[in-house]
Amino acid sequence: MTAEKSSRFVILYASQTGNSEWIAKNIHQEALERGFVNECHGMEEHDKVDLSKENILILVSSNTGDGDPPENATNFFRFMRKIKSNTFLSHLQFAILGLGDTNYTNFNNTAKRLEKKLLELGATPFYEKGLADDAMGLEATVDPWIEKLWPALAKVCVQKGKNNNNAHDENIVESVKNLSVNDKSDNNDLSLPLKLPNELSVDEKMNFVIGTKITFELSELAKAETLTALPRIPTVICKIVKSNKKESINPASLPPFINTSTPIVNARLDTVRCLTHPDALKRTIHLELDIKDYKEKLEFVPGDSIGIIAPNNKKLVLEILKTLEIGENEANQEISIESLEGTVLPSHLRNAQTTSIMELFRYGVDLTSLPRKALLRLMAEYTTDEEERKTLLFLCSKQGADQFNRLRHQIPTLLDLLVTFPSCKPPVERLFDVLPSHQPRYYSIANSPLVNRDSFHIAFNIVDYKTPDPYGVRKFGVCTPWLDNLSGHVNEWNKRFPLTTKVDIPIFMKQNTYGFAVPSDISRPMIMIGPGTGVAPFIGFIQHREQQIIAERRSDNIEKSLGEMWLFYGCRDIEKDHLYREELEGFLKRGILKELLVATSRAPDAGLNGNPKYVQDLLRKRGQELYELLDRKDAMIFVYAQGMAKDVNDALADILVEYGNMQRSDSLKLLAKWMNDKRYLRDLWS
């Protein structure tokens, strides 16, 4: 370890959906203001950093899949894996901030792996790692972690003149009594308020709940003398540069800033079927997307998924623009987003040239996920009403932590926030500084190319729910209601409807890179666990295996033994939401599926007298046979589930303990080994 302080440090971030990127860039900016010389890079650019020469490294990392590193970190991990010397980084001191989610079994696995590797290479931590949890709200860990980072960093890194530091400190503590309102004189370039078009296309007709006021309890604000731990005012980055061209942007084509890992193609909506009874609690839709024209380019296997580029709801966008007093002409005018000198655009806006405000709101930024404190802090800067401004500052302060949580429980959209604070009129480019990137939505492919290469089948629940009591406000997802609209709100149970209107959906392929696929050896047993829409990829799996068997029998005279396929499925009510029942029972009859085990969580006797309620109960119930399959027949385990991976893992561990005579710790180690060997595969979507 160097006794001398380092003159600079480096931040590397691994980010899938932008949170780590946002936090890393904020640390970078605040560090500059505090007089620390530093650089910040995404891990895809790790070659810009010579770790053999750097002394201080800060890593901010998230996860995807089942504790996997985000895609932009793949090369960095490969690079680190190749280094074997345990003194390679002995000169380096580091700190790690992980962003994870305790709903996943491998909580913050990426941060833990990074830490382990850095320690193996001889590096030493200068500050303890922070593991933030999306389930609790990232800010609960991230904010205090960053606050305490500064004194820790000051011990190992030189902090030059504190030019801007005073400005920063004012942000941290603000006297409630002296809150003043900013001058908005620079914000008077407003066009006529936007009129909603009379004719809303199919996308916009949906009954979207528009702008609900958020409720708070403000007694703590009344008591507070000062507000502490306020986030800093977000850095001014984006600048809107208007084009001289008169024409507005053609909304018929996809915006230039959309960046996907594989090319986007237009898949035509072909067939729709509602998989649930009209009385079911949730509506589940099966869609078939015609890809005939691209099939040469789109090679797929069951286990792959597709990303869908769905826009933010147009009515929501129009209302936001109206609230921000942005006229229709202005919203559709050609613009470019550029960064102010010395700042770097968020990666999702890097190609935002020849675009429009409308496109950016529809496809560029996220308007519906839980707001960050930085957004509230920014809004406070542009709020003229003193009470509203105080409330916004309170919500992002330490004193307002409970009310910030209350706000999160109400799952507000940007519009809800603007409606709650009507005197808040932020310039649109300032919103682009803080709003997270709009994300494609991923769906697992539910068919095998050996049966049908001309289309992708997907299944999804329509995201339509109410916020928890006492709020009870109806909310919609982004993509599934959009697809539902485009496919005509079908609710006749299990009837296939061919779509006569020509509707194209922009999609791209996401290949499965971690082995979640049908093994080529048909004698290998497969244990598949997929509750709810988690059954979708397994329809493709079973189709695939059936075709493999047919092909093998045709080409081979010797009959190979067949690996058993077991499917553990869970639904609420077998008569209402047993998805793909016909197909599954057909597979069973044809002997492709050996066992179809269904747990019905809302059955009157579920969970009573040993009756299984969930898939994990079913696993335990059939534990002995499962153990035989695993122990004697080298079965593979596939889990495709949301939120129950831990319960499934626990049930599997219990089975190993009971029938394999193992200690609990050994059973967990064995499961971890199987994961490593790609024999136990999990796809845990969120």
Question: Where on the chain is the footprint of ligand FMN (CB under 6 A)?
Answer: 15-20, 62-67, 70, 99-101, 104, 106-109, 134, 138, 685-686
- Closest approach of ligand FMN to the CB of residue 97, in Å: 11
By beta-carbon proximity to ligand FMN, the closer residue of 40 and 424 is 40
Burial class of residue 46, CB neighbours in 10 A (0-12, 13-18, 19+): buried
By beta-carbon proximity to ligand FMN, the closer residue of 274 and 536 is 536
Dihedral over alpha carbons 602, 618, 583, 447 (to 10 degrees): 110
- Closest approach of ligand FMN to the CB of residue 305, in Å: 10
Burial class of residue 379, CB neighbours in 10 A (0-12, 13-18, 19+): buried
What's the first-to-final CA gap in the chain, in angstroms? 41
Q: What is the 3-state secondary structure of 301-345?
A: CECEEEEECCCCCHHHHHHHHHHCCCCHHHHHECEEEEECCCCCC
H helix or E strand, kind and range, residue 648? helix 645-660
Q: Cα(550)–Cα(528) distance, rounded to whole angstroms?
A: 21
Q: Cα(24)–Cα(130) distance, rounded to whole angstroms?
A: 13
- Closest approach of ligand FMN to the CB of residue 19, in Å: 3
Is the CB of residue 248 less than 8 Å from the CB of residue 327? no
By beta-carbon proximity to ligand FMN, the closer residue of 112 and 545 is 112
Phi-psi region of 371 (alpha: psi -120 to 50; beta: other; left: phi over 0): beta
Buried b (16+ CB within 10 A) or exposed e, 313-324: bbbbbbbbbbbb
- Closest approach of ligand FMN to the CB of residue 109, in Å: 6
- Closest approach of ligand FMN to the CB of residue 135, in Å: 9
Reference 117, options 166, 154, 73, 150; nearest CA is 73
- Closest approach of ligand FMN to the CB of residue 103, in Å: 8
By beta-carbon proximity to ligand FMN, the closer residue of 65 and 525 is 65
Is the CB of residue 59 less than 8 Å from the CB of residue 24? no
Q: Cα(270)–Cα(264) distance, rounded to whole angstroms?
A: 18
- Closest approach of ligand FMN to the CB of residue 69, in Å: 10
Cβ contacts of 353 within 8 Å, gap of 6 or more:
256, 257, 336, 337
Reference 72, options 60, 58, 86, 90; nearest CA is 60
- Closest approach of ligand FMN to the CB of residue 141, in Å: 11
- Structure tokens that stand for 667 in this block: 């059973």
By beta-carbon proximity to ligand FMN, the closer residue of 418 and 681 is 681
Buried b (16+ CB within 10 A) or exposed e, 246-268: eeebeeeeebebbeeeeebbebb
By beta-carbon proximity to ligand FMN, the closer residue of 15 and 543 is 15
- Closest approach of ligand FMN to the CB of residue 160, in Å: 30
Phi-psi region of 63 (alpha: psi -120 to 50; beta: other; left: phi over 0): beta
Chain-centre distance for alpha carbon 509: 17
Residue that has been written with the tokens 């922009």 in this structure: 506
By beta-carbon proximity to ligand FMN, the closer residue of 52 and 686 is 686
- Closest approach of ligand FMN to the CB of residue 629, in Å: 26
- Closest approach of ligand FMN to the CB of residue 58, in Å: 15
By beta-carbon proximity to ligand FMN, the closer residue of 137 and 400 is 137
By beta-carbon proximity to ligand FMN, the closer residue of 108 and 444 is 108
Residue nearest ligand FMN, CB atom distance: 100
Q: What is the DSSP letter of 360?
A: I
By beta-carbon proximity to ligand FMN, the closer residue of 348 and 425 is 348
H helix or E strand, kind and range, residue 256? none
Is the CB of residue 540 less than 8 Å from the CB of residue 557? no
By beta-carbon proximity to ligand FMN, the closer residue of 62 and 356 is 62
By beta-carbon proximity to ligand FMN, the closer residue of 138 and 599 is 138
